[in-house]
Structures are given as C-alpha cells and as structure tokens.
Amino acid sequence: MVKMNNMNLKSNVLKNKLRLNQVTLGSWITLNNPAIAEIMSNAGFDWLTIDLEHSVIDYFETENLIRTIELSGVSPLIRLSSNDPIQIKRVMDAGAHGIIVPVVNTAEQAQAAVDAMYYPTRGKRGVGLARAQGYGSSFEDYCDWLGDNAIIIVQIEHIDAVNNIEEILDTPHIDGLILGPYDLSASMGKPGKFEDKDVQESIDYVLKMANKKSMPSGIHIIEPNVNELKMRIDMGFKFLAYSLDVRMLDAVSREGINIKNNLCS
C-alpha cells in the first residue's frame, strides 16, 4: 500500500486541535500567487483558506495553491462559493484538507455538506482518482485519511442560522463554525453595525451555544488588528481567521505612507 504524504500528519494536528476545542489561527487567501501562499504558510498559521466565494481564483489555480500550502506544512482549507456537492467533490479531490461552507442556516444544509464530503456509507460523494488519491495509487489510504481527518466548518452568517444554531451544531461530523459578522448584521437589517445590541446578542448567543457543545467557534478579523485578535481570543473564540492577503498588503502599505505624510507635510 502506498503511503500518504504529509497531508495526513498536518491535518491530523489541526483536526485534533479542533476536537480538543483549542485555539487555532488561520488566514484568508484571495490572490492567486503561490509566493503569497508560501509566505503566509511559512509565517506559522495553523491553516490557510483559499477563498472561492469572493475571489477570481479558479479550480486549476486552487489546486496549485493547495499544493503550495500543504508542502509548506500547513492545512489548506477551501471557502466554497456555495454549498455545492460538485464543488466540494472537486476541491477535496484536488487535495484540500477541509471546507468552510457559506450560508449554513439549517441542520439539513449542514448535513448536505457532510454528505458531499464523505464517501458512502457516511456520505454520498462520488469516487474519482485525482491528486488527493495519489492519482489512483493510494485510494485506500485516502479513504482512511478522509474518515479521520477531513474538516467541515460551517459559516453562521444569517439570523436564521442563529435561530437554528443548536440543531446545526448537533449535526454529526461538523468540526466547528465561523461567524460572518457582515452578512449576519445585514440579514438583521443592520449591515455593518457590529456594536448594535441585537447583533452583539446574536454573536454572543452563537458563541455560548458553541461553548456549551465544546465546538470551536470562529470569527473572521478582517483588519490586521492584533488588539482585536486578543479581544476575540479573550471572548472565547477558538477558530480565528486573522485578516486576509489583500487587507494585510493594503493596511501595512497605508501605515507607512501615513507616517511619511505626517512627518513630511
């Protein structure tokens, strides 16, 4: 039997941290550049997510980014464009260690993601031979790896999901959640008003329910703000996305320009 590559070992580390409800830190990739993925991987993140919902990255580019992240010793995850079984099958066949599923509002939608991730009898995923399966040489190893190591994170980004959060988290084989504050606030008719009492209460309720079930609860810190990161960890969030490639580039660039302008004006 052909041995699997390092995807086994690293993903097992992340999966175990999720099982133990430990803090993990990742970030978001929206630019199709292997150098960016390599630099961010070498920085020491636990995981990196390739964003297929709000970027122009295609499937071929996704596989190359997965390869770069994985070879750098970090777990590559994919934020899907939708809860689509075909897309889930394709990115997992490309070698992704897991998926982040947008707009999961019900337990039925969470179960649909599980069905699309796993082969029968646990799920309904069709079988193909691609990079993840060693192009056919290590299919049995991949089946073993999949059952123990694949990761499913659901995005809670609508008030309907908040109202159904206990049932969603009770879905077998869900490994964690991540809040989408912008979309959640928008679904409440208060887009971007994160300090609003109702929005805050919804976020607090999701965090409370996740902690009750020992499920890692995540949130995306959009700006590269270390003070917010510390605050979110203190609040009890465990699956944290620290900014994204474009915001890091923009924020650091503007910081330097602002210092120059202030000193030389």
pLDDT tens, position by position, for the chain (265 residues)?
334 454 544 457 899 999 999 999 999 999 999 999 999 999 999 999 999 999 999 999 999 999 999 999 999 999 999 999 999 999 999 999 999 999 999 999 999 999 999 999 999 999 999 999 999 999 999 999 999 999 999 999 999 999 999 999 999 999 999 999 889 999 999 998 988 999 999 999 999 999 999 999 999 999 999 999 999 999 999 999 999 999 999 999 998 999 989 899 7
pTM: 0.93
| Residue 193, domain member (yes or no) | yes
Which pLDDT belongs to residue 260?
82
Check which CATH number belongs to the domain holding 29 and give it.
3.20.20.60
How many C-beta atoms surround the C-beta of residue 77 within 10 A? Answer: 28
Intra-chain end-to-end CA distance of the chain, in Å: 68
What local confidence, expressed as pLDDT, does residue 194 receive?
Answer: 86
In a domain, 211, yes or no: yes
Cα dist from 90 to 7, 98, 123, 125, whole Å: 17, 12, 15, 10
pLDDT of residue 11: 53
Query: Is position 107 within any domain?
Result: yes
263 class by beta-carbon count within 10 Å (0-12 exposed, 13-18 middle, 19+ buried): exposed
Residue 230, in any domain of the structure: yes
| Count of domains for the chain | 1
The answer to the question of residue 173 being in a domain is yes
Residues with a catalytic annotation lie at: 54
Domain that holds residue 43: 7-264
> Is residue 1, in this structure, part of any structural domain at all?
no
